[in-house]
Amino acid sequence: MDIFISYTHGDRERIRPLVDLLEAEGWTVWWDRGIVPGAPWLPELEEEMAKSRAMLVAWSRTSVTSEWVRHEATRGMQKNALVPVMLDVKAPPAEFAHVQATDLSRWDGTKRVTEIEALLRRLALLVPPSRIDTVRPGYDPLFLDRKRAITLPGVTGPAAVLRYLHFTVVMNPARRIAHYVAYNFDAGQQFRLRRPMDSWAADPLLPPSLQMNIHLLRGTLFDRGHLMARFAACWGEPRMASIANRQAFYWPNVAPQHRMLNQRLWVDLEAWEERQGHDRGRLTGFSGPVFLADDEPLSGEMKFEHGLVALDTFRVPLAYWKVCVVPQTRGRFAVAAFLVSQAAFMDRTLPHVEGPPPEGDAPLTAAGVGAFRVALPALERLARLRFPDTLHAAAPL
């Protein structure tokens, strides 16, 4: 058992969204709904507390007066596993005041607040999620054909593999922007979810130094652009689709896209991609930036605790690419590669892409998405990537 939650029954409905959130991040959670009817409750509670690796105690107006919650908090403190949160009180009981508590009084179960991210990071340090592979299995190379794998493309430079539900981010830790995102989309199981307000968040299970801080984009001409469109992750049964939707808004899936590119060109390409997925039933995709040595820096001040201010900097890519793969008959694949530049919006020039586009290429939509088509070898040279042989052998989409 990962986390034992101590609370009073009057707070049950306030605790339920927290349990759902923790389970969605991969932790196993015990709260007393699990007691078997007719079983002696005291021995089972003691057994679950002994097995748990973190003791989360919810302090509220009722729980601060509960002798049993205080007993459970004491057990957690004795195990060096106490993680207190405050629901509607300003401070925990005096004997627990020296243990830092997270204030969740402003959290309504849906709105993203900084304190929730801090709580998840603290739990991750104390007890890594035991079900992380269940809620973050990553990209499936056999998604389109169980006998023919579409392996992850090779990259130039350092890389870190970050797995999520239905997709994998191959991060460039030196740039704090992904080399690319690899994803699987099952149109037959697509689940439409309304975009939540204030939905962007750092991945709480990753060090902040491995993620681009999107707050630096405020007041600039650059949007928080999805590398993988969120529709591609939102499929499966409702609970899993909801988890994937939340993960699609984590910072590793974001890149600085000029508003003209993000809101016009890129959205047209994503719409075309979604239609291809529905036409063919399934789709595998790769999407990322083009890293160049002379990419311009973008800097801003970030404030931390105790007055610390850091001048944070990342560099803005000049272009973004996308590769879409769909199944064909007799175990074959069809592929289309695209390159969308934002250089003109930045008064820059993108290096020439050598090589002709795929033979027989034509505009694919009235919006002119076909104008962004590029040959796969040319994209490899510009972005310094290496796509698997299965894609080089695929037919043009």
Contact 189, 236 (CB under 8 A): yes
State residue 204's pLDDT score: 86
In this prediction, residues 26-39 reach a mean pLDDT of 72
State residue 371's pLDDT score: 87
State residue 143's pLDDT score: 97
SS (H, E, C) 177-245: EEEEEEEEEEHHHECCCCCCCCCCECCCCCCHHHCCCHHHHCCCCEEEEECCCHHHCCECCHHHHHHHH
Which one is predicted more confidently, 308 or 367?
Answer: 308
Nearest-angstrom CA–CA distance, 76 and 62: 19
Examine the pLDDT at 372 and tell me if it is beyond 90: yes
Sign of the CA dihedral 278, 280, 285, 290? negative
State residue 155's pLDDT score: 98
State residue 110's pLDDT score: 66
Q: What are the structure tokens assigned to 336, written together?
A: 């289309």
The pTM score is 0.86
State residue 38's pLDDT score: 53
- The 10 Å Cβ neighbour count of residue 362 is 7
State residue 370's pLDDT score: 82
State residue 198's pLDDT score: 54
State residue 109's pLDDT score: 74
- Secondary structure (3-state) at 373: strand
Phi first, then psi: what are they for 263, rounded to 5°?
A: -90, -10
Measured in residues, the chain has a length of 397
Q: What is the DSSP string of 57-105?
A: EEE-TTGGG-HHHHHHHHHHHHTT-EEEEESS-SS--GGGTTS--EE-T
Q: What is the pLDDT of residues 309-353, one digit of tens each?
A: 888 888 999 999 999 999 998 778 999 999 999 999 999 988 877
State residue 366's pLDDT score: 39
Nearest-angstrom CA–CA distance, 108 and 89: 15
> Structural domains in the chain?
3-132 (3.40.50.10140), 136-396 (3.40.570.10)
The H or E element spanning position 139 is: none
Examine the pLDDT at 37 and tell me if it is beyond 60: no
Which among 339, 345, 327, 338 is positioned nearest to 394, based on CA atoms? 327
In this prediction, residues 55-62 reach a mean pLDDT of 94
Q: What is the DSSP string of 319-344?
A: EEEEEEEEE-GGG-EEEEEEEEE-TG
In this prediction, residues 28-35 reach a mean pLDDT of 76
Q: What is the pLDDT of residues 271-302, one digit of tens each?
A: 999 999 999 999 999 999 999 999 999 888 87
